[in-house]
Amino acid sequence: MSAADIDTSGIQLRSRSRRALRAALGNPLAMVGTAGCCILLLLACFGPWLAPYDPLAQRMLSRFAASSASHWLGADEYGRDMLSRLLYASRASIIISLASVIAGIAIGVAIGIVSAYRGGLVDAVVSEIANMLLAFPTVVVGILVLVALGPGAQNVVIALALSFIPRFIRLARAETLAVKERPFVEAARVTGATDWQIMTRHILPNVIGTAIVSGALWTATALRAEATLSFLGLGVQLPFPSWGNLISDGMPYIFSNPELVVYPCLAIVFAVVSFNILGDALRDYFDPHSGHH
């Protein structure tokens, strides 16, 4: 086998990435999802600088102020500017969701690749544990972990990551089982490559693309789960805002001031739809099993 035969995994990844980029640029729906995700990431990064007011500052004279030039989205029961709180909340909700998915990808893909490549008892044990954890919904896992660890943003990341790890284990395991018997992997073994080199140089590039696409879709799940946990009082703690606890905070006033609930709900819907659209569009062209290659 030639060196070119051994390096086909990297070539395939680059080719698949270019196809995904062309698909996103050529698909209006994918462009909408990409634009939505970019806006969310910019808000998460620069929201505190864009906020017109301190989101924690109480101004009782502005209590339940209607939308105006001073308060574009009005004010809550303590006179806090809703736009400022929504912008700050976007940082908490998006960063927590992305961090949990990234942690799930890093840990789950590593375990899945090693498990499938090694096989035997290790693979059997890992598969059984992953299947057992997958029986529990994301929010249920989050509640169980947060009851044990206590509420807070960092613990939400841990809780959500634990719920995503078995998903990425199963995904990476399935991809590895298909890839490890391909000719370029066999060629690498013949040339004396170590197991570590084969897993990192030849198997990982064929797995990570699918994992990232799935991660885009599961980020939407993470956003919903984080909002649910914060709504229940187990996530980001008031007075620091997240979209979930803003909804919880506004529920007593849902009939008299429904905008306190509507605005964070719309933010969650926008974020979830954006990541779902982007993930669906990329999956059609990035997933090697989608039939578009």
CA distance 88 to 238: 12
Partnered with residue 81 across adjacent β-strands are 75
CA nearest neighbour of 73 among 269, 262, 274, 272: 262
Burial label, 61 (beta-carbon count in 10 A; 0-12, 13-18, 19+): exposed
| Bridge partners, 75 (sequence order) | 81
- Residue 68, judged by CB atoms within 10 A of its CB (0-12, 13-18, 19+), counts as exposed
The whole-angstrom separation of Cα 142 and Cα 231 is 13
Contact 73, 83 (CB under 8 A): yes
- Residue 126's Cβ-side half-sphere holds a number of Cα atoms within 13 Å equal to 27
CA distances from 88 to 11, 15, 85, 231, 275 (A): 41, 39, 5, 16, 20
What are the average pLDDT values for consecutive 10-residue runs of the chain, which has 293 residues?
Answer: 45 54 63 86 85 86 84 88 91 92 94 89 90 88 89 91 93 89 81 83 86 88 93 86 91 91 94 88 61 44
CA distance 108 to 117: 14
Please tell me the distance from the alpha carbon of residue 15 to that of residue 125, in angstroms, as a whole number: 35
| Contact criterion met (CB below 8 Å) for 122 and 137 | no
Give the separation between CA 261 and CA 67, rounded to whole angstroms: 14
From the list 97, 94, 99, the residue with the least C-alpha distance to 45 is 94
pLDDT of residue 23: 55
Report the pLDDT value the prediction gives residue 293, as an integer from 0 to 100. 42
The DSSP letter of residue 237 is P
Q: Tell me, what DSSP letter sits at residue 55?
A: T
Q: Where are the domains of the chain?
A: 3-36+88-286
Task: Provide the CA 245 distance to its chain's centre, in angstroms.
Answer: 19
Which token pair is 33? 């999802």
Fold of 3-36+88-286: MetI-like fold (1.10.3720)
